[in-house]
Amino acid sequence: MSSLDAGFYFIEDENVPMHVGSVLVFDGPVPSYGDVIRLFLARMDQVPRYRQKVRTLPFHVGRPVWVDDDHFNVLYHVRHTAVPSPGGEDQLRNLAGRIFAQKLDDSKPLWEAWLVEGLEGGRWAIISKVHHCMIDGVSGSDMLQLMLDFRRESTLPEPREWQPAPPPSTIDLVVDGVRDAVATPVQHLAALPALARNLRSLNEIVDFGKSVLSSLPGTARRLVTRAATSLNGPIGPHRRWVWARANLAEIKQIRRAAGGTVNDVILAAVTRGFRDLLEKRGELTDGMVVRTMVPVSMRKANQHNELNNRVSAVLVNLPVGEADPVQRLASIRAQMDDLKSSRQAAGADVITNLGNFAAPTLMALGSRTAMRFPQQILQTVTTNVPGPRIPLYMLGRPLVEMFPYVPIASTIRITVGIFSYLDRITFGINADFDGVPDVQLLADGIRTGFDELVALAAEAAEAEVVDTRTGAAATPVAARSAPAKTGATATAAAESGAAKSGAAKSGAAKPARKPRAAKPTPSSPEPR
């Protein structure tokens, strides 16, 4: 097990189950439980980890190891349940929230799947749980291939006979663990000269160092900007899990008017959600930010079949204290551009991999201590997993939607997971049950964030048509003047680089069109 995977394993306890998950909703007819079992057995040879369990060593003299479960039974892991028919989205979310709150059995392979019947419209669902030490966000798409096909019609191979490998003895594991604790750091040190030889030139090293050093002032400003620390606090064993929706068409409309990437627009909508949450709590102030960790995949194209975590992260300040939606988007865009140019994600990956130099016992203690230590730097985690743009099927039934679950830990009470599938973006918001009873405000606010930006983009498109007819120069949304800022708000705007992008021009801001009400939950996908 890698150092990062071991860290995810070590920090788990009854209040902090460290699994990721998803809810996949399908159109009917509902398959039989036996067919689902046969599907898993037919595909399980592709991922041997699904038949392996974790074995730890005495005193953690070595990192945990994966061993075959000699009592593996697929019926224990694939389960069958139902909601009272006709079950709506609230019933499905509540069921999933209870299932996600339960810790996986660490004496077994660390995964579960639940077949859920009784949904309205003849639909059904799969609730999936996989421990974080087995899988990361991007390779998670590979795991879904256990269940999903790209064609409606598919032929399942006959399950092959499987025999578990003989378990290693404790003595052998201890000897290997001690050897690993001593040899692994030496191997990593020995690899440094080869790594240096693979670098293109000294100029490349110098450029990398300059880019990182030049980003330090901006990083320092981001870390000292006043954050909404009221979002931090202890967490309990129960969860509230809600979701929201958007689609790529409206994101593209916003990008045409205001610029930025898909991720920039998504983070701007998430910012509006946290702004509404804090405003309803009476805790919102000018210049306030919500600091989020954004995981970044470091997995290369030739590493998609490797069953371990290859993730790094960057820190982004969500400008919740900014009233103007265009300025919020400009601030996020400037930060993300700065983070990309400074290569901070690569730097974070290097720090993460330093865990390979730690003795396993110290790593176990360090992981637990780090996650228990009260901290106010981060308020949330926002992770975006891109999915396929083509339809997927399970046992011939089309996948309609899928919603992500990202665990909470330490004093971070809220996480936001994001999936894209076909032309739809779905948000799964996970929160501590007692600490965030108002989490639905966040989900509704995310939807409102998209609505207000779409409305502004539509206004800009209408104005452009009028300006074209009159011969006047059109003004893009990104250059729209914003309200005058004072104090901390002005500092935050200057930091974001909004002036650089032309977003802080003088003049009174044109009031935004009143946001549309959140769209009602559809019983079927919106027209594409």
pLDDT digits (tens, 9 = 90+) for 240-295: 999 999 999 999 999 999 988 898 999 999 999 999 999 999 999 999 999 998 87
Q: How confident is the model at residue 477 (pLDDT cuts 50, 70, 90)?
A: low
N residues, the chain? 528
Quote the pLDDT of residue 472.
56
Q: Enter the tokens of residue 159.
A: 């399950």
Residue of higher predicted confidence among 164 and 362: 164
Q: Which of 7-11, 202-206, 437-441 has the lowest mean pLDDT?
A: 202-206
Q: How much is the pLDDT for 3?
A: 77
| 132 noted as active-site residue | yes
Angle between helices 248-258 and 325-342 (to 10 degrees): 90
Region of poorest pLDDT, from 48-57, 269-278, 316-325: 48-57
The stretch 72-79 carries a mean pLDDT of 95
Straight-line distance from the first to the last Cα atom of the chain, in angstroms, rounded to the nearest whole number:
43
Contact 147, 130 (CB under 8 A): no
Q: How much is the pLDDT for 33?
A: 96
Q: How far apart are CA 15 and CA 18, in angstroms?
A: 10
Cis peptide preceding 86, ω within 30 of 0: yes
Q: Which residue has the higher pLDDT, 92 or 508?
A: 92
- When mean pLDDT is compared across 36-45, 244-253, 493-502, the lowest value belongs to 493-502
Q: What rounded mean pLDDT belongs to the chain? A: 77
Q: What is the architecture of the domain spanning 3-167?
A: 2-Layer Sandwich (3.30)
Q: Residue 305's CB: how many other CB atoms inside 10 A?
A: 9
pTM for the model stands at 0.77
| 315's tokens | 């820190």
- 15 vs 33: CA distance, rounded Å: 31
Buried b (16+ CB within 10 A) or exposed e, 224-261: ebebbbebbeebeeebbbbbbbbbbebbebbbebbbbe
Domains 3-167 and 225-301+308-467 are alike in CATH topology: yes
CB 118 within 8 A of CB 83: yes
Q: Is 200 within 8 Å of 64 (Cβ atoms)? A: no
Q: What is the pLDDT of residue 209?
A: 52
Q: What value does the mean pLDDT take over residues 10-33? A: 92
User: Bridge partners of 397?
Assistant: 394
d(CA 382, CA 429): 9
**Which structure tokens are listed for 522?**
């559809």
Catalytic residue among 60, 77, 131, 132: 132
Check residue 505 and give its pLDDT.
37
Instruction: Choose the CATH number for 225-301+308-467 among 3.30.559.30, 3.20.20.140, 3.40.710.10, 3.40.1010.10.
Output: 3.30.559.30
Q: E strands within 146-253?
A: 239-247
> Can you tell me the distance from the alpha carbon of 178 to that of 184, in angstroms, rounded to the nearest whole number?
10
Per-domain residue ranges of the chain = 3-167, 225-301+308-467
Q: Is pLDDT of 423 > 80? A: yes
Tokens encoding 221: 């400003």
DSSP 163: -
